[in-house]
Structures are given as structure tokens and as C-alpha cells.
């Protein structure tokens, strides 16, 4: 079964929380407490989301994180790329290849499934979360 990493799951939860904060800055500690997420891990995710152009941060007493303009146009696929989670579904489709590639009838099936999966991830916009 295809599984979604905690990195992706928690990022989606965090982005959903920010989308409901109506443009106000949200501190990591507030988000971690309200969402029951590990603070340090959330900090790492926030760094990735910021460098990926989805959120921005402000320092200071009233600082925190909020979504940037245009975040809603990004797709789930974009999020996977930002988090480094857009890996091949099976080894033979990845960088490393497969020792059983000669005479393998499964590669075309895996390619078809992976293509459909990635197309669907590209269709689902972050605004839908």
C-alpha cells in the first residue's frame, strides 16, 4: 500500500491550520500545541515550507508563520517536491534501476500506476486541504 510520510502528513496539517488563521501570524509553539505535533519536527518542516515558497515568517513578539500569496495554486505534488518526498514508487522507476529489468513485464504497469498517481497529485491544489 502507498503510504504518506509523517513529513507530508504533518505539513498538510500545518498548512491547513495556517489557512484557517486568516492571515495572522501563528507561532510554532502555538501550532505544535494545538495540532499535537512535535515542536522540533514542525520547525524543520516550516523551514522547508518557507524555502519552498509556501509560507513566510516574521520574527519578534508578534511574529510567526503565515501562508504567502499564491500558496493555494501549488499542488500536492509541489509539496512533495518541496519536502523531497517525490520518490519513485518502486525501485525500477527510480535512479538506481533494477537487477531484474531484463524480461520484466511489471515495469510498464508500475509506470502507468505512478504516472496516474503523480497526475492526480498535480491536480489537487493545496487550497483544497
Q: What is the pLDDT along the chain (129 residues), one digit of tens a residue?
A: 677 899 999 999 999 999 999 879 999 999 999 999 999 999 999 999 999 999 999 998 888 999 999 999 999 999 999 999 877 777 777 666 677 777 778 878 888 998 999 999 999 999 998
d(CA 37, CA 10): 7
**pTM listed for this prediction:** 0.87
In a domain, 1, yes or no: no
The reported pLDDT for the residue numbered 45 is 97
The reported pLDDT for the residue numbered 72 is 93
Task: Residue 111: count other Cβ atoms within 10 Å of its Cβ.
Answer: 15
In a domain, 80, yes or no: yes
In a domain, 73, yes or no: yes
The whole domain housing 105 covers 6-128
If one counts the domains in the chain, the total is 1
CATH at residue 11: 1.10.10.10
In a domain, 39, yes or no: yes
Amino acid at each position: 500500500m502507498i503510504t504518506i510520510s509523517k513529513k507530508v502528513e504533518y505539513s498538510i496539517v500545518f498548512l491547513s491550520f495556517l489557512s484557517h488563521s486568516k492571515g495572522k501570524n501563528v507561532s510554532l509553539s502555538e501550532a505544535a500545541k494545538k495540532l499535537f505535533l512535535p515542536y522540533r519536527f514542525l520547525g524543520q518542516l516550516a523551514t522547508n515550507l518557507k524555502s519552498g515558497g509556501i509560507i513566510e515568517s516574521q520574527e519578534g513578539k508578534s511574529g510567526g508563520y503565515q501562508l504567502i500569496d499564491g500558496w493555494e495554486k501549488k499542488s500536492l505534488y509541489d509539496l512533495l517536491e518541496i519536502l523531497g518526498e517525490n520518490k519513485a514508487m518502486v525501485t525500477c522507476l527510480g535512479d538506481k534501476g533494477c537487477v531484474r529489468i531484463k524480461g520484466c513485464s511489471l515495469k510498464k504497469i508500475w509506470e502507468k500506476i505512478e504516472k496516474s498517481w503523480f497526475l492526480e497529485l498535480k491536480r489537487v491544489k493545496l487550497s483544497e486541504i
